[in-house]
């Protein structure tokens, strides 16, 4: 219960901070939104399923961008504010605090996808018919959780570096490409595909498209439930790795006592 309270408090704090500091609207919502609008303009003469493919990819881009910024800049912000030592000193492990922040920022990505959906229907006059709404919602929620778990793995490295902003910007677009948000990963070079398969969101976006598109077929063979099973296993692995890494980081932080230095 103490960990759940920590997650909820971090979730609430991140929400309040998001609304109090509107500059985060640019990287978290506006940037993925513009990228998806460009894709919609390119696909505007295509069939409805192709446009929906782009919309779902845009929603995933927004979710991942928000998760990554939560992982990176939440630690960087603590350094700027001079509160990093206080966060490390509380009885609750930092991983649960970052988890609450990552979940909030992933949820903000859902708003991004909703706005894109509204634009597609009202401006581009795109008929959007989801094949199976309950399965779509299930895949969407589980993908959000998988993104949060992946963000926790990255955030453990961000604790030890003063260049979290650089890492955040550098990791954003490789994940967009590697997970196949805008095009199938079968188009990627062969040597990059094992890396794409190791990312939970790759399987999540595939499951989302299975639930949304009636005639969807990808190069991944497991199907909807197979995608969810693989994503769940990868998410558990991410969580285990993140817990272990945060323990190592916490030990090093308490030993060296230099996290707040620049």
Tell me the pLDDT tens digit for each residue of 225-248. Answer: 898 999 999 999 988 988 888 888
- What are 87's two structure tokens? 């966060």
* pLDDT for residue 206: 84
Stretches in the chain below the pLDDT threshold 50: none
* pLDDT for residue 202: 84
* pLDDT for residue 26: 67
* pLDDT for residue 218: 67
* pLDDT for residue 261: 60
* pLDDT for residue 230: 92
Q: Are 228 and 209 in contact (CB under 8 A)?
A: no
Which SS3 state, helix, strand or coil, does residue 50 take?
helix
* pLDDT for residue 25: 66
* pLDDT for residue 47: 58
Q: Are 195 and 162 in contact (CB under 8 A)?
A: no
Which of 105, 102, 109 is CA-nearest to residue 31? 109
Tell me the pLDDT tens digit for each residue of 69-101. Answer: 666 666 667 777 777 777 777 888 777 887 787
Which SS3 state, helix, strand or coil, does residue 163 take?
coil
Per-position DSSP letters for 233-260, written without gaps between them? HHHHHHHHHHHHHHHHHHHHHHHH--TT
Could you give the CA distance from residue 33 to residue 113 in angstroms, rounded to a whole number?
A: 8
* pLDDT for residue 247: 82
Q: What is the pTM of this model?
A: 0.79
């Amino acid at each position: 219960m103490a960990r759940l309270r920590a997650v909820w408090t971090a979730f609430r704090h991140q929400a309040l901070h998001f609304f109090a500091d509107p500059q985060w609207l640019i990287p978290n919502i506006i940037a993925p939104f513009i990228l998806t609008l460009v894709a919609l303009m390119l696909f505007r003469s295509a069939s409805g399923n192709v446009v929906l493919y782009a919309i779902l990819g845009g929603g995933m881009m927004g979710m991942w961008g928000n998760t990554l910024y939560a992982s990176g800049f939440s630690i960087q912000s603590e350094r700027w504010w001079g509160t990093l030592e206080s966060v490390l000193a509380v009885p609750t492990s930092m991983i649960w605090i970052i988890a609450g922040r990552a979940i909030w920022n992933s949820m903000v990505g859902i708003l991004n996808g909703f706005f894109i959906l509204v634009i597609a229907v009202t401006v581009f006059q795109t008929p959007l018919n989801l094949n199976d709404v309950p399965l779509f919602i299930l895949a969407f929620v589980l993908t959000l959780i998988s993104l949060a778990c992946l963000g926790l793995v990255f955030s453990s490295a961000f604790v030890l570096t003063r260049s979290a902003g650089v890492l955040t910007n550098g990791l954003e677009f490789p994940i967009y490409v590697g997970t196949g948000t805008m095009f199938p990963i079968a188009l990627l070079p062969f040597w990059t595909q094992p890396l794409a398969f190791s990312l939970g969101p790759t399987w999540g976006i595939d499951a989302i498209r299975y639930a949304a598109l009636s005639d969807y077929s990808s190069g991944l063979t497991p199907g909807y439930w197979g995608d969810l099973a693989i994503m769940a296993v990868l998410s558990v692995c991410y969580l285990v790795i993140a817990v272990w890494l945060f323990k190592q980081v916490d030990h090093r932080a308490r030993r060296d006592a230099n996290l707040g230095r620049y």
